[in-house]
Amino acid sequence: MTSAPAVDDIVKSEYEHGFTTEIDSDTLPPGLDEDVVRAISKRKGEPEFMTEWRLRAYRHWLTMREPEWAAVNYPKIDFQAISYFSAPKRPEDGPKSLDEVDPALLETYEKLGIPIEEQKALAGIAVDAVFDSVSVATTFRKSLAEAGVIFCSISEAVHEYPDLVKQYLGSVVPHTDNYYACLNAAVFSDGTFVYVPKGVRCPMELSTYFRINARNTGQFERTLIVAEAGSYVSYLEGCTAPQRDENQLHAAVVELIAMEDAEIKYSTVQNWYPGDAEGRGGIYNFVTKRGDCRGARSKISWTQVETGSAITWKYPSCLLRGDDSVGEFYSVAVTKGRQQADTGTKMIHIGKNTRSTIVSKGISAGQGEQTYRGLVRISQRAEGARNHTQCDSLLIGDRCTANTVPYIEVKHPSAKMEHEATTSKISDDQLFYCRSRGLTEEDAVSMIVNGFCKEVFNELPMEFAVEAQKLLSISLEGAVG
Amino acid sequence: MLSVKGLTANVGDKEILKGLDLEIAPGEVHAIMGPNGAGKSTLSHVLSGREGYEVTGGSATFEGRDLLELEPEERAQLGLFLAFQYPVELPGVNNTYFLKAALNSIRKARGEEELDAVSFLRLIKEKLKILHLDDSLLKRAVNAGFSGGEKKRNEIFQMALLEPKLAILDETDSGLDIDALRVVANGVNALRSPERSMIVVTHYQRLLDYIQPDYVHVLAKGRIIRSGGKELALELEEKGYGWIDAEGQAA
């Protein structure tokens, strides 16, 4: 790990990105070809191996077709109309003050209790570096360095730790995996790199919030987390506050690697802009997330709370290769308005006595459309593998839909599989009962929904769980009646 | 406290309440008895604001407010409480959390300060004793997996906590064995006070052995056809509803 940068450096680097005048020329025109891929790599000052890596992906991407099997509808994306590299916006391009920001957005910030400075930052207003957060981040980096944990941007990692990047990048999600992952490999903007050495228990929850340079990672984010034997790390991604973003297509890739006896806990709260009442302008969230339990007794756990985006296409998965390894997936997904989500997980049991747990809670309101799509595969040598799947859907109102599409493939006779699924509606009786005790209809809905999601919230780190609950209540305001 | 005049209400096209009058003063306990289909539950539901009933005429005022134009939660905040005949299950919703939210929402509406977790727990433990309820109830989800007796006791427990001005007990005795009935009735009696009125809706006289009403009303075919003291309940028990029904028709 590089030494912790001094406060000065951080402030200066913010300055650099925020106030230079050459930035306009730093944005590539829309379109994608080999030259664009090379240009991205060059702008980021990448070594030759990365440029080649990207080009290989790009060439393969040309041979692929956009997947159409997901139960979502959207107009065809014109990939030549997207600009694949844009430097951070200048502060004067964003709103000048909170007066210029959509009042609805501000109202949500207010309800979430977000401090005013942070509201500004989220809404895209230039703010001076808040000294507190800088010093927090610095302290934070220092104690990570002491533990030997590497936590930096993936661009930094390419320069500072090329061997680790070479060894692990694309080793869980190869560029050939799927259309969007392949595109990401060719053009990824930035992202996060975490490396936890052997036997180290990461001293704190890692969150991009503390990565000063995490802003503007853009639409093609790339995350790589490696946990060496016997180590532990918990990573938080996202933010409960709705984030403004100019880019409609988000195609991120997340790769997790857990060696022998290592454990990775990955928690996500996703609240990207879902579009207006008709679903216009919302984010398309086409993400590939996969964890590789490479070593024996390793464990990877995905917990997600998904309330945003117009379209979500996401299946955080676990490859259970090590014997006795464990995969978990806990998910709450909300679709309301015109949101569509096709989401679930894949648990691929390869090693002996591997275990997986899937708890999926889908909430559909308004005209939301939601599909749980999950695969549990027990391979030929996965003796003694076990899976428990629980898949519950809660409907609010009568114009939403919920589908469950479980795929189960078992190739070993000793496998134990359980699949439970329920679909329920918030009943008028329940609402009346709560209201007759003095609770408003909205409070009643949020209470019932939070009760429905409890098993998943229990898996989230404490302060995140509280925020997630609040977020859920706010997302479902006005969902009834 | 509560004044109901000429109340008529429909369910769909069917008229259930056909001009009901009822006057309740503070501290009074009124029993409403009547055969199946008389409109007892409809009355409870209309007063507490449940959807699915159309009030076609008459009035109901509570503490000087027009009850019928208030939302159910506003009625609760004013001090009206309905103990359900069939308490509803809320899977995953913790009982303590539910009660605290309910109490604080009522306190807030009354301009009182919300209770913090510590004072709330103290209060709740105190109230548990009245109903001989176990602490473990607090950790469970609201009514989920409760036995019939537990559900009814939980209703009265909620009443003890929310301290309403007017409580409507809708067939609280139904489905209770004699021991559970005694516990529930004792709980209700412990909550009687000069400021608190109650409407005890019941099919059988049995409950009134334990909760002694000041007045007994007989509800039949959507109207109160006879009112009297507690001896009326005994007379009913002896002669059956047929007796009063026949009289009612003759009148």
pLDDT digits (tens, 9 = 90+) for A79-114: 888 777 765 444 445 556 666 666 666 666 666 666
Position A215 pLDDT exceeds 60: no
Say if CB B218 and CB B33 are below 8 A apart: yes
Q: What one-character DSSP code corresponds to residue A243?
A: B
Examine the predicted complex and report whether its ipTM is higher than 0.85. Answer: yes
Q: Which residue has the higher pLDDT, B46 or A282?
A: B46
Q: How far apart are CA B113 and CA B48, in angstroms?
A: 25
- The tokens describing A140, both together, are 């934070």
Q: Under an 8 A CB cutoff, do A428 and B51 touch?
A: yes
Instruction: Sort strands A263-270 and A232-238 into parallel, antiparallel or unpaired.
Output: parallel
Domains of chain B (ranges plus CATH)?
2-87+148-250 (3.40.50.300)
Q: Which residues of chain B does A438 touch, with a Cβ-Cβ cutoff of 8 Å? A: 73, 76-77, 102-103, 105-106, 109, 162
Say if CB A305 and CB A332 are below 8 A apart: yes
Lowest mean pLDDT among A5-14, A112-121, A291-300, B181-190: A5-14
Residue A26: band (very low, low, confident or very high) from pLDDT cuts 50, 70, 90? low
Q: Under an 8 A CB cutoff, do A450 and B106 touch?
A: no
Q: How far apart are CA A46 and CA A59, in angstroms?
A: 19
Which stretches of chain A sit within 8 Å of chain B by CB?
Answer: 427-430, 432-441, 443, 447-448, 450-454
Please tell me the predicted confidence (pLDDT) of residue A117. 57
Q: How far apart are CA A309 and CA A297, in angstroms?
A: 35
Q: Chain A within 8 Å of B84 (Cβ-Cβ)?
A: yes
**Residue A323 CA: distances (Å) to CA of A261, A295, A385, B246:** 10, 7, 10, 80
Please tell me the predicted confidence (pLDDT) of residue A289. 95
**∠ CA(B78), CA(B219), CA(B85), 5° rounding?**
55
- The tokens describing A3, both together, are 């030494």
Please tell me the predicted confidence (pLDDT) of residue B179. 85
Amino acid type, A18: G
Say if CB A233 and CB A203 are below 8 A apart: no
B165-183: burial string, b at 16+ Cβ within 10 Å, e else = bbbbbbbbbeebeeebbeb
Closest CA to A357 of A303, A410, A402: A303
Q: Under an 8 A CB cutoff, do B90 and A443 touch?
A: no
The series of mean pLDDT values per 10 residues for chain B, 251 residues long, is 94 92 95 89 94 93 94 95 94 91 92 90 87 83 90 92 94 86 89 94 88 93 90 84 62 42
Q: Which residue has the higher pLDDT, A6 or A202?
A: A202
Which single residue is written with the structure tokens 């114009």? A399
- pTM (2 decimals)? 0.79
Q: Under an 8 A CB cutoff, do A437 and B141 touch?
A: no
Percent of chain A with pLDDT over 90: 41
- The tokens describing A121, both together, are 């930052």
Q: Under an 8 A CB cutoff, do B73 and A436 touch?
A: yes
Q: Which residue has the higher pLDDT, A116 or A454?
A: A454
A254 bridge partner residues: A223, A289
Q: Which residue has the higher pLDDT, A215 or A106?
A: A106
Please tell me the predicted confidence (pLDDT) of residue B133. 79
Amino acid type, A223: T
Please tell me the predicted confidence (pLDDT) of residue A253. 94
Q: Under an 8 A CB cutoff, do A436 and B49 touch?
A: yes
Position A46 pLDDT exceeds 50: yes
Please tell me the predicted confidence (pLDDT) of residue A446. 85
Residue A246: band (very low, low, confident or very high) from pLDDT cuts 50, 70, 90? low
Q: What one-character DSSP code corresponds to residue A82?
A: S
Query: What interhelical angle do B95-109 and B148-162 show, nearest 10?
Result: 30
Q: Which residues of chain A does B162 touch, with a Cβ-Cβ cutoff of 8 Å? A: 437-438
Q: Chain A within 8 Å of B93 (Cβ-Cβ)?
A: yes
